Amino acid sequence: MTDPNSAGSLRPTSPRHLLPRRAFLGALGAAGALSVVPALPATAADAGSTAYTLLSRADWGADETLRYTAAGTEIWPPEYYPVQTLTVHHTADGSTDPDPAAVVRAIYRNDTVGKGYGDIGYHFLIDRNGRVYEGRWSGTDGTAAHDAAGRMVTGAHVQGYNSGNLGIALLGTFTTTPPTTAARTALVQLLADLAGRHALVPAGKVLYRNPVSGVSRAAPVIGGHLDWAATDCPGTVWSQLPAIRAEVAALISG
């Protein structure tokens, strides 16, 4: 395995099943348990306006054996750091499979086995119907993408800038077309949950510092892959980010 935070690796430098499918706001309870309660401040919008449906790894059929070597060693052990920024992607995987869970499984296999990561690189994925899929495995003691202390498991979605940078991918290719309304709505809801939970200012900027490599970079709190690298990802979604940030802020403030 290459160093996840090296310039030559997408992955700088986790395992966990969630509860079954549910409308989920991702708040961490006192014991770090999954709670279906608002994750936003008390002044925020009510739960009904910020809820989204989350499918756990078990729900979408992740083959957890792929994360281990034949000898039973976990290929990509989890590392956790505070969230500094949220990055949006499109998968541009070229799939025409009508079953989005099958597409997630294919991306998972490609990242885990094909690319040798040992797991899927994104923390969350969103399908055209607005359903959110749990990505990177993060242990059994927290919520999706987090440990019990609320720290984020490191993913593999922005080369050299992964630790502390949470990746959300919209399933599909959006270089010329926009995502569906349902997908965009779920993206706003998920970003509001995460920004509220981690006290992030949606329209703000941050001097990101990779806690592993020490590399720093100025970036938006909510940005796209294009803010980090020369890429067309996340396609048309990138031009929508100013409006998305405003909607996220409004959802948090209520």
- Token readout for 178 is 């926009």
| Cis before 242 (ω within 30) | no
pLDDT higher for 24 or 77?
Answer: 77
- Where on the phi/psi map is residue 96: left (φ > 0), alpha (ψ -120 to 50), or beta? alpha
Report pLDDT digits (tens) over 95-144: 989 999 999 999 999 999 999 999 999 999 999 999 999 999 999 988 99
**Can you give the C-alpha Rg of the chain in angstroms?**
17
| Cis before 179 (ω within 30) | no
Report pLDDT digits (tens) over 224-242: 999 999 999 999 999 999 9
Measuring CA to CA, which residue among 38, 26, 40, 17 is closest to residue 249? 40
